[in-house]
């Protein structure tokens, strides 16, 4: 379901916890979720993990593989930004329909 600002909400379920990520597309929300993964020291050594996001107001579950890694902050980074930042990438695996029962 689209909000007034054009963004959609996606719920990430991990055990009993549910986090909600917003984005214009499912990929935007998946990238936000992937940044919360345990980051590797570089992109080549990052391990992909499955990310399942249920789109609020629908029965669609967007399935991604996501991975995260640490990189040095850019040279023009603001003072409040830490020296290392977490980068992430995702690859879509498909869409599943959640049972209505």
- Read off the pLDDT of residues 43-101 as tens digits, 9 standing for 90 and up: 999 999 999 999 999 999 999 999 999 999 999 999 999 999 999 999 999 999 987 65
Residues whose CB falls within 8 Å of the CB of residue 15, separated by 6 or more in sequence, listed in order: none
Q: Beta strand 60-72 with 49-55: parallel, antiparallel or unpaired?
A: antiparallel
pLDDT at 2 over 80: no
The more confident residue out of 5 and 35 is 35
User: Which three-class secondary structure state does DSSP give residue 36?
Assistant: coil
pLDDT in tens, 19-57: 999 999 999 999 999 999 999 999 999 999 999 999 999
What does the domain layout of the chain look like in residue ranges? 8-97
* pLDDT for residue 1: 67
Whole-model pTM: value is 0.87
User: What whole-number distance in Å separates Cα of residue 59 and Cα of residue 3?
Assistant: 17
């Amino acid at each position: 379901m689209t909000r007034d600002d054009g963004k959609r909400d996606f719920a990430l379920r991990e055990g009993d916890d549910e986090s909600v990520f917003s984005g214009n597309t499912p990929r935007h929300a998946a990238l936000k979720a992937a940044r919360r993964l345990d980051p590797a020291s570089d992109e080549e050594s990052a391990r992909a993990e499955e990310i399942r996001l249920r789109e609020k107001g629908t029965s669609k579950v967007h399935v991604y593989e996501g991975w995260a890694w640490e990189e040095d902050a850019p040279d023009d980074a603001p003072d409040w930004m830490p020296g290392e930042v977490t980068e992430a990438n995702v690859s879509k695996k498909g869409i599943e329909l959640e049972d209505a029962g």
